[in-house]
Amino acid sequence: MCGIVAYVGGAAAAPVLVEGLRRLEYRGYDSAGIATLTGRTLNIRKTIGYISSLQSLLVQHPIAGTIGISHTRWATHGAVTIQNAHPHSDHSGRLALVHNGVIENYHELRGDLIEKGETFYSSTDTEVMAHLIGYFFGKNGKQGKIGLMEAIRQALGQVVGTYGIAVIHADVPGVLMGARHGSSLVLGVGNGEYLLASDTSAIVPYTHEAIYLNDRDIVCLGEGGFEVNTLTGLGSDYRITKIDFTIEDISKAEYPHYMLKEIFEQPASVSNAIRGRLSLEEATAKLGGLEASNIELRAVEHLILSGCGTAFHAGLVGKYLIESLAHIPAECEFASELRYRSLLATPSTTFVFVISQSGETADTLAALRESRRKGYRTLGICNYVASTVARESDGGVYMHAGVEIGVAATKSFTSQLTILTLISLLFGRIRRLSHTDGLRIIAELEKLPEKISQTLELHEQVRRIACKYAHAKSFLFLGRQFNYPIALEGALKLTETSYIAASGHPSAELKHGIIALVAPEIPSVFIAPEDSVLEKNLNNIQEVKARNGPVIAIGTEGNKSLARIADDVLFIPEAPEYISPILAVIPLQLLAYYIAVELGHDVDKPRNLAKSVTVE
């Protein structure tokens, strides 16, 4: 949520910053801004809209300097205006600051600062930090790097909330500072140049050496190199890590949108989730990252799964997987709810799995921390190595899905489902699941990438269906058991990319109210592969057809009944019930994509959304 890029080195800062912001635009695109220093002069340019607007502004009013900070915003406090865009400054107009996160006590701090004579120009919480640092810098009377660092320390000592910040000051030329608490900040260590960014995509064109800052770290960059300390004044425990993706991995390649590229990457991303994790000899999954022995795993009597949005839907499928393959009671809860619930499960026999592509979602992190506080073993399923979820959990499983840039999550979802299948296999095999059943599951997992490729061949057919229904008023998505969460996910994908109201329901719930919506202008999408509830789904489809509702069905190859009753059918390869969600979701991802394109929406930057929601 919001993107930060900062640079100090030998090159002109503005082009590096703008290029970095373009790569982070998926984190927010309401407004953007940049500040550079030319000697002891601070230059600031801000604009509302996409990074392309900032680029145009810089063509008209260029700024020089080899040190600078920049930001792309997703509004939390204050409307989308130039005044509210970052960078923000202090009373002297010589300091510039960009910020990700939320300052919870900003009202109080702002009141105090106004009493001290400060004037505010925006309605953001960020401006409070700029004024506070400026206030201490002036008050302390200490100049230079040490003075600025001390002012930042004092100011952050008063702040309650989350932040990733980058700061420059015209009285301290050549020095760039940053700090983080609860909002990611990564330092790119280049050859005579340094970058500070909210995620690695902005850094990778310049260097593959990164330091993921820890909470309460403060970093000082400039000609003298880099220093990482804690806000309390101690040396930080940092490590230089190699970034494991290239600039090609984060380009759109031949695809018009990241979302489409990532949908088509799923045979590879699912393969990566499985690679090296299957043991034919023991007919089980090997997940060393869980950091738990078989004795500990066998003692587990209850699993809690949690996440937000698409990750929550993965958790819901996980509940069905774990109950049917591992025979362990499982529940799945929105992270935003779990964090405030009184958890009654016994900590010593319960594992909590948090699922998050980014590993930075605020509610998911809060659920993780709350579970830890109560003594539960917490495990993360996330994509970003060195993300906060990865660092704060007791163990976990990486998705290895590669960078996901499309705001609508696609490949991360199928990777999450694959990993949840592996986890279920592992737990199942130390309980009731036989060696033969374990081998059967392994064989199905191994066939999965090929079946995903076959499913992707539906894309042209899905595009035609999308054109046919793109102007529908709303959509219903219906499924049962393993595919009920897929109905929820299909509805979410369509809503967020096309702005069409869509809702997902268990098919059998139709007659308890939802059926009132069924009408010729409202299509119902049924996920009805060959499984234990196919007959029930067929009955529900008949109920919709009897009321003149158009039906699009996702079924298993060769199912003649579906072909007879549905208006449009998309056939996915035959697969066991526990695998079917991974295949069934793919035509729904494509449907959402093609409808959004048909309606002329910016698929990779859906209205009001941003990737990675780092605020509550």
Does 381 contact ligand F6R by CB under 6 A?
no
- Here the tokens at position 184 are 């990611």
Q: Using alpha carbons only, give the angle 504, 510, 516 rounded to the nearest 5 degrees.
A: 100
Does 361 contact ligand F6R by CB under 6 A?
yes
Per-residue string for binding with ligand F6R, 494-513, x by CB under 6 A?
A: --x-----------------
Rounded Cα–Cα distance for residues 481 and 530 (Å): 12
Name beta bridge partners: 304: 331, 352
From 319, 411, 451, 611, active-site residue: 611
Rounded Cα–Cα distance for residues 420 and 490 (Å): 19
Assess contact for 423 and 274: CB atoms under 8 A: no
Q: Of 162, 424, 612, 614, which lies in the binding site for ligand F6R, with binding defined by CB under 6 A?
A: 612
What is the closest distance, in whole angstroms, from the C-beta atom of residue 306 to ligand F6R in the complex? Answer: 10
- Here the tokens at position 130 are 């700029």
The torsion of the CA quartet 575, 578, 579, 580, rounded to 10 degrees, works out to 70
Binders in 116-175 for ligand F6R, by CB under 6 A: none
- Which CB, 462 or 610, lies closer to ligand F6R? 610
Does 356 contact ligand F6R by CB under 6 A?
yes
Q: Which stretch binds ligand F6R (CB under 6 A): 62-70, 98-106, 114-122, 309-317?
A: 309-317
Helix (H) or strand (E) holding 506: strand 501-506
Does 47 contact ligand F6R by CB under 6 A?
no
**Which residues, 6+ apart, have CB-to-CB distance to 124 below 8 Å?**
77, 78, 84, 86, 88
Does 371 contact ligand F6R by CB under 6 A?
no
Does 357 contact ligand F6R by CB under 6 A?
yes
CA distances from 427 to 295, 421, 499 (A): 11, 10, 40
Q: Is 2 a catalytic residue?
A: yes
Does 332 contact ligand F6R by CB under 6 A?
no
Q: Of 311, 456, 465, 588, which lies in the binding site for ligand F6R, with binding defined by CB under 6 A?
A: 311
Instruction: Determine whether 500 is exposed, middle or buried from the number of CB atoms within 10 Å of its CB (0-12, 13-18, 19+).
Output: buried
Q: Using alpha carbons only, give the angle 101, 157, 34 rounded to the nearest 5 degrees.
A: 45
Per-residue string for binding with ligand F6R, 395-424, x by CB under 6 A?
A: -------------xx---------------
What is the closest distance, in whole angstroms, from the C-beta atom of residue 357 to ligand F6R in the complex? Answer: 3
Q: Of 272, 364, 537, 540, which lies in the binding site for ligand F6R, with binding defined by CB under 6 A?
A: 364
Q: Is 611 a catalytic residue?
A: yes
Q: Of 308, 362, 553, 570, which lies in the binding site for ligand F6R, with binding defined by CB under 6 A?
A: 308
Q: Which stretch binds ligand F6R (CB under 6 A): 321-329, 350-358, 568-576, 578-586?
A: 350-358
Instruction: Determine whether 578 is exposed, middle or buried from the number of CB atoms within 10 Å of its CB (0-12, 13-18, 19+).
Output: buried
- Which CB, 221 or 366, lies closer to ligand F6R? 366
Q: Which stretch binds ligand F6R (CB under 6 A): 69-77, 83-91, 213-221, 355-363?
A: 355-363
- Which CB, 36 or 383, lies closer to ligand F6R? 383
Task: Residue count of the chain, please give it.
Answer: 616
Per-residue string for binding with ligand F6R, 205-224, x by CB under 6 A?
A: --------------------
Assess contact for 97 and 166: CB atoms under 8 A: yes
Contact residues for ligand F6R, defined by CB under 6 A: 307-311, 356-358, 361, 364, 408-409, 492, 496, 612-613
* Residues acting as catalytic residues: 2, 611
